[in-house]
A and B are shown apart, each in its own frame.
Chain A
Amino acid sequence: MSFKFKFKNINSTNNKKPICRINLNGNDIFSGAVQEQIILDTPTQDNNILRIFFENKEGKDTVLNDQQQIIQDLNFELEQVIIDSIDLKHLIWQSKYVAHDNVIDSCLFFGPKGYWELIFDSPILKWFLRTNHNKNNNDPTWETDYNFYEKVCQKLNKIQTR
């Protein structure tokens, strides 16, 4: 399954760049400096836990002025997650950020040391449609349409391109 992560507002301090580690179901699939875009390919399970760890944040990375205002900080934001060509769009907010004992729902900002977590199922499209409907109650035919789509895709896979 392919993963594309887009990050923005990647802020360094004193020549120190933020480093992340991406972990799927307990396996590290990426580790390195946060880039605007990280593309990965890795197998998934029926139920998945995706975590992005903010690896190298330390207390000294947050620089304050005399008024205790932050003037420099090591941080970044998650902007977009695309799994198997499905842009999770608003469902990216169905996640949480865990920093020590604090759990912040729907947080895409990597400020404190911790990790962002998204739990999803495969196939991702089915999960996306179901989760979207459960959240917004605006797509009552999602399952029948999904089943039609899957069925015809399987049939078409057996047919050569014109």
Chain B
Amino acid sequence: MSEIKQNTDKIIEISWALMTASAQNKLDIPGEYIWNIPVSKEFNEIRPKTWSVYSSGNCIKDKDLIEFTESVQLNKYLLDPWIVKRFEEYFPTWFKKCPRFQFKGIDEFKHSCFAQGSQETFINFYIKHRERRFRVFKGEYWWHMECWKKLGINWAYIDEDDIKSNDVVILSCPFARLGDEHPQQKELIEQCEKLGVPVMLDFIYLPNTTFDNVQIDLTPSCIESISFSLSKTFPIANARVALRMTRKKVYDPMQIANDENVANRLATGIGLECMQQFEVDYMVKKYQTEQQHWCKILGLTPTKVVHFAEGKPYTDIGRMNSKRFFSEFNDQQNRYNLGPLFANKNLLQKMGYYE
């Protein structure tokens, strides 16, 4: 099999096209984060923004979904005391509807708790296990390491030391850097099971996976909690809509707030409406051929997450000048987010980049 030749020049040129178009208000779908929006048309303003065009993990800004979310009347949920409960009950049902996902042992995770984004789940996990040492693979979501470093929490990469009984593990599945299962996932969970080390599995990218058949074994008792989110599935990341499922009810700040019935009703409302309107693998069905198309054009390798591709870093500047996109722990330079290309297909066609 011949090696795929990466078209780095084209990758860079498209990053310039998108950021210059953003500055000129010509994107099909405008950017949503200020770190990726040039505030003027000047070269020196646009240039650093081109370095991070493909770097985020963010959701595809699907036009139909955006139109739908804009049509949702959210205010009615403010006074709806049942909306959070309905969201928590519907989420697992919605997820299980997709025949490609098979979770062995998920029925043991009886306790669902709305979270304001996966980050709230993570924070509560940090609090619960604050006496332990946190462990992650290199390339895991950098936010963990950044928080641990800033807060002085004990942690180490998994390849730096053996798993010990006082450790606690967080693992994204599919793995954040690879967009696929981490090759040591099975072995790691076996070790944790043997040592009684608690594990949290982060399924944030799971809805966007292109696997024909996903079989996830949740029976090892070390898997204490599983985290889902709609942030990478639907363009509602800034509504912070996520869910934690646990075997045992966890009495942490997040759960206590939910029990008090003061959780965010607007977030659960928009989340529930999106789930009722769109299937779990809506993005996969809509964009898998686009992923293949762009990978072919750019010489990248499709990952198992529909909006990601893998390749060599397209710019050294942003990566090497200690500007590792918010964090020194951001090791995801080989992962390309193709979402901006999907979302701006019309523009890129007009500019001659979509062959």
Q: Measuring CB to CB, which residues of chain A are less than 8 angstroms from any residue of chain B?
A: 85-86, 125, 129, 141, 144-146, 148-149, 151-153, 155-156, 159-162
- Across the interface, do A161 and B16 meet the contact criterion of CB distance under 8 Å? no
- Across the interface, do B42 and A152 meet the contact criterion of CB distance under 8 Å? no
- Across the interface, do A161 and B13 meet the contact criterion of CB distance under 8 Å? no
- Across the interface, do B351 and A159 meet the contact criterion of CB distance under 8 Å? yes
Chain B residues with CB under 8 Å of A155's CB are: 17, 351-352
**Residue interface mask B340-355, A partner, CB < 8 A = 1:** 0000000100111000
**B98 within 8 A of partner (CB):** no
- Across the interface, do B351 and A148 meet the contact criterion of CB distance under 8 Å? no
Given contacts A85-B42, A146-B43, A159-B347, contact A152 B25 (CB under 8 A): no
Given contacts A148-B12, A148-B13, A162-B28, contact A156 B46 (CB under 8 A): no
- Across the interface, do A162 and B25 meet the contact criterion of CB distance under 8 Å? yes
Please classify the interface of chain B as helix (H, G, I), strand (E, B), loop, or mixed, using the class held by over half of its residues. helix
Chain B residues with CB under 8 Å of A148's CB are: 12-13, 16
Which residue of the partner chain, among A125, A146, A156, contacts B17 with CB atoms under 8 Å? A156
CB proximity of A67 to chain B, nearest CB, Å: 48
Given contacts A149-B46, A152-B20, A156-B17, contact A162 B351 (CB under 8 A): no
CB proximity of A85 to chain B, nearest CB, Å: 6
6 CB-based A-B contacts, threshold 8 Å: A144-B12, A145-B50, A149-B16, A156-B24, A159-B26, A161-B25
**B47 within 8 A of partner (CB):** yes
Question: Please, how many angstroms separate the alpha-carbon atoms of A151 and B16 in the complex?
Answer: 9
Chain A residues with CB under 8 Å of B350's CB are: 159
CB proximity of B240 to chain A, nearest CB, Å: 28
Chain A residues with CB under 8 Å of B317's CB are: 141
CB proximity of B114 to chain A, nearest CB, Å: 36
- Across the interface, do B20 and A156 meet the contact criterion of CB distance under 8 Å? yes
Question: Please, how many angstroms separate the alpha-carbon atoms of A19 and B20 in the complex?
Answer: 41
Extra inter-chain contacts (9) besides given A148-B16, A156-B24, A162-B25, CB under 8 Å = A86-B42, A125-B43, A145-B12, A146-B43, A148-B13, A149-B16, A156-B20, A159-B21, A161-B25
CB proximity of A73 to chain B, nearest CB, Å: 37
CB proximity of B30 to chain A, nearest CB, Å: 8
- Across the interface, do B16 and A156 meet the contact criterion of CB distance under 8 Å? no
- Across the interface, do A145 and B351 meet the contact criterion of CB distance under 8 Å? no
**B27 within 8 A of partner (CB):** yes
Chain A residues with CB under 8 Å of B26's CB are: 156, 159-162
CB proximity of A128 to chain B, nearest CB, Å: 9
- Across the interface, do B21 and A149 meet the contact criterion of CB distance under 8 Å? no
Question: Please, how many angstroms separate the alpha-carbon atoms of A146 and B42 in the complex?
Answer: 11
Chain A residues with CB under 8 Å of B47's CB are: 145, 149
CB proximity of A44 to chain B, nearest CB, Å: 18
Question: Please, how many angstroms separate the alpha-carbon atoms of A48 and B247 in the complex?
Answer: 75
Chain A residues with CB under 8 Å of B50's CB are: 145
Question: Please, how many angstroms separate the alpha-carbon atoms of A36 and B181 in the complex?
Answer: 63
Chain A residues with CB under 8 Å of B20's CB are: 149, 152-153, 156
Chain A residues with CB under 8 Å of B347's CB are: 159
Chain B residues with CB under 8 Å of A145's CB are: 12, 16, 43, 47, 50
Question: Please, how many angstroms separate the alpha-carbon atoms of A125 and B13 in the complex?
Answer: 18
Q: Which of B50-106 contact A (CB under 8 A)?
A: 50
Q: Which of B9-50 contact A (CB under 8 A)?
A: 12-13, 16-17, 20-21, 24-28, 42-43, 46-47, 50
Given contacts A149-B16, A152-B16, A152-B351, contact A161 B43 (CB under 8 A): no
Question: Please, how many angstroms separate the alpha-carbon atoms of A145 and B28 in the complex?
Answer: 23
Question: Please, how many angstroms separate the alpha-carbon atoms of A159 and B193 in the complex?
Answer: 58
| B350 to A, closest residue via Cβ | A159
CB proximity of B222 to chain A, nearest CB, Å: 47
Chain B residues with CB under 8 Å of A144's CB are: 12
CB proximity of A87 to chain B, nearest CB, Å: 9
- Across the interface, do B13 and A152 meet the contact criterion of CB distance under 8 Å? yes
CB proximity of B13 to chain A, nearest CB, Å: 5
CB proximity of A139 to chain B, nearest CB, Å: 9
Question: Please, how many angstroms separate the alpha-carbon atoms of A137 and B95 in the complex?
Answer: 54
Question: Please, how many angstroms separate the alpha-carbon atoms of A153 and B41 in the complex?
Answer: 10
Q: What 6 pairs between A and B have smallest CB-CB spacing?
A: A148-B16, A152-B17, A155-B351, A152-B16, A152-B20, A148-B13
CB proximity of B242 to chain A, nearest CB, Å: 32
Chain A residues with CB under 8 Å of B352's CB are: 155
| A153 to B, closest residue via Cβ | B20
| A155 to B, closest residue via Cβ | B351
CB proximity of B324 to chain A, nearest CB, Å: 18
Chain A residues with CB under 8 Å of B28's CB are: 162
Chain A residues with CB under 8 Å of B13's CB are: 148, 151-152
Question: Please, how many angstroms separate the alpha-carbon atoms of A155 and B18 in the complex?
Answer: 12
